[in-house]
Homo-oligomer: A and B are copies of this chain.
Amino acid sequence: MTRVAIIGPGLLGGSLALALAGRPGVELRLWGRRMAVLDQARALGIEARMERDVREAVRGADVVVLCVPVGVMPELVFECLSDLGRETLVTDVGSVKAEVVAKLAPMLEGRALFVGSHPMAGSEKTGLEAARADLFEGAVCLVTPEEGRTSAEATTRATLFWRGVGCEVREVAPGLHDAMVARISHVPHVVAAGVVNAVGREMPGAFEFCGPGFRDTTRVASGSPSMWTEILRCNRREVVGGVREVIGQLEEVAGILERLDAPENAGSASMELDDFLSVAKQRRDALRLG
């Protein structure tokens, strides 16, 4: 029997509960602050022991998965510290890792087995109502052991846990995780919001003519502002770096387009523009996804 405590019934916690509920050999506990949300979870068919006391939720658990906003994790872990078993695997689903790991790992050292995780399975939707049993199927989950601190057992057990719900697991150090995720998730989020806000400020009438290109390019801008404020805040150094890298690319294109005005440069500028777009196409086409 594996006792799994899911801490937080949002999109990720709820989806994890839906994926695990009713599996033979799994005993599930779901912790939430508000009874109404736990009732909603039950109404969705999640068979789990519903808990509002986090200490009760984790007591005797083999695996504890923190599915609350990263800013809330330290206090919750602190609250139930004495209820964790030394062999309990604690992991989380936060999308920023260096700061979270730096806070949780020392707190949990010697008290439980800890390694950070980041299942890349979110969407612009949030909350239990968007939860799906198959959310993790085929998603990449980044597990982030710290060299010299995280036990191999924690990493192995977290890997098997995420594979069990359909994830493809990769290992990456917390700092490199944050640098990479800034580039492929946090910066694209800022850029999407920036594109929407630029149109909103300069030419709001254009929204009426949006096609599928604009829709896709800006979809992530519909994400929860409070959640993303917290993510961007936690990873601000890498995000600023990544945003400046994108600004550099945009300045480059603007420069090329301006050189097209002068007939003597038009030919070479046209080729530079084609190169810029060709390199992007080649890279984009090479992505595994879609």
Binding site for B on A (CB under 8 A): 120-123, 139-140, 142, 170, 172, 179-181, 183-185, 187-203, 205-226, 228-229, 232-233, 236, 239-240, 242-254, 257-258, 260-261, 270, 273-274, 276-281, 283-290
Return A154 CB to nearest CB of chain B, in Å: 21
B245 and A202 contacting across the interface, CB-CB below 8 Å:
yes
B197 and A290 contacting across the interface, CB-CB below 8 Å:
no
Chain B CB within 10 Å, residue with most, of A201, A206, A245, A284: A284
| Interfacial chain B residues near A140, Cβ < 8 Å | 209, 211
Known: A180-B205, A249-B194, A290-B219. A120 touches B211 (CB 8 A): yes
Copy count, this protein chain: 2
Known: A215-B290, A216-B219, A229-B277. A184 touches B209 (CB 8 A): yes
A190–B236 alpha-carbon span in the complex (Å): 24
| Interfacial chain B residues near A139, Cβ < 8 Å | 211
A117–B123 alpha-carbon span in the complex (Å): 35
Return A245 CB to nearest CB of chain B, in Å: 4
- The residue on B at minimum CB distance from A259 is B236
Which of these, B180, B219, B243, B285, contacts A209 with CB under 8 Å?
B180
